[in-house]
Amino acid sequence: MSLRSKLEVGAQQLGLDLPVAVIDKLLVYLELLVKWNKVHNLTAVRDPEEMVTLHLLDSLSVLPHVPTGRLLDVGSGAGLPGIILAICRPDLQVTTIDAVQKKASFMRQAKAELQIDNLQVVAGRVEQLKPELPFDTVISRAFSEIALFIQLTKHLIAEEGLWLAMKGQMPQGELEAISLKPSKVELLVVPGLDAQRHLVFLPARQC
């Protein structure tokens, strides 16, 4: 199966109706990631087919759950899920941040080559970020335990904002370690992935 077919079929299985132009951009992003990864080691995943599943479809699985507005992707790495969300959702104003310079450089290159106008890339530590406006949604995909994720970003989130923590197995221990109660925990099924994925919703108004 071609990379395009794998992505198209996977998106359909996720219930997403992505325009051809969006699929094209996601494949150009993937091509860029494969190219940069050979030199800069941005991700441990080397095989482009695996990248479709583990990076693109995994990021796309949260797409239906992301509210509109301003979104911050913390510890974004190669732009996952932030760049994927920005490509698919022009209504989102996405900021990605990573402390590793080469990862931020890659994200800036992707923004330029793919002309992602609703994306801002920041190189630096999230606890030092001082945005002009707070974020409606703060998301992370493998950044840290939930308690640290909240602690480092609580100065960045709007009063009525939402933390979204992308996790593998149900993070029961992490949830027991915080005072916030999730409004829900969604089980995500990523096409082609034989592993658990969960999305934890934590409303900021409890703080």
* pLDDT, tens digit, 9 for 90 and up, residues 1-12: 899 999 999 999
Q: What average pLDDT does this structure show over 187-195? A: 96
Residue 61 has pLDDT above 90, yes or no: yes
Percent above pLDDT 70 for the chain: 100
Residue 198 lies in a domain: yes
Q: What average pLDDT does this structure show over 52-73? A: 98
Binding residues: 75, 80, 126-127, 141
- Domain of residue 181: give its range: 62-206
Residue 26 lies in a domain: no
104 alpha carbon, distance to own chain's centre: 14
Burial (CB < 10 A; 0-12, 13-18, 19+), residue 145, is middle
Binding residues for S-adenosyl-L-methionine: 75, 80, 126-127, 141
* Phi, psi for 155 (deg, rounded to 5): -80, -5
Q: Considering the chain, what is the average pLDDT of its residues?
A: 96
Task: Please give the C-alpha separations between residue 100 and each of 42, 105, 107, in angstroms, as whole numbers.
Answer: 10, 9, 11
Sign of CA dihedral 14, 172, 99, 48: negative
What pLDDT is stored for residue 207 in this prediction?
A: 66
Q: How many domains does the chain have?
A: 1
Q: What average pLDDT does this structure show over 49-68? A: 97
Residue 29 lies in a domain: no
What pLDDT is stored for residue 41 in this prediction?
A: 85
Residue 42 lies in a domain: no
CATH number for the domain that contains residue 151: 3.40.50.150
Cβ–Cβ under 8 Å, residues 59 and 84: yes
Residue 6 lies in a domain: no
Two structure tokens written together for 98: 């990573």
- Quick: pLDDT tens for 115-146: 999 999 999 999 999 999 999 999 999 889 99
Q: What average pLDDT does this structure show over 77-104? A: 97
Contacts of 197 (CB under 8 A, 6+ apart): 58, 61, 166, 167, 168, 187, 188, 189, 190
* One-character DSSP codes across 116-166: -TTEEEEES-GGG---SS-EEEEEESSSS-HHHHHHHHTTTEEEEEEEEEE
Contacts of 99 (CB under 8 A, 6+ apart): 75, 123, 124, 125, 126
What pLDDT is stored for residue 19 in this prediction?
A: 98
Residue 91 lies in a domain: yes
Sign of CA dihedral 147, 150, 155, 161: negative
What's the CA gap between 188 and 153, in Å, rounded?
Answer: 24
Cβ–Cβ under 8 Å, residues 206 and 180: yes
Residue 190 lies in a domain: yes
Two structure tokens written together for 142: 């493998």
Residue 52 lies in a domain: no
Q: What average pLDDT does this structure show over 33-56? A: 94
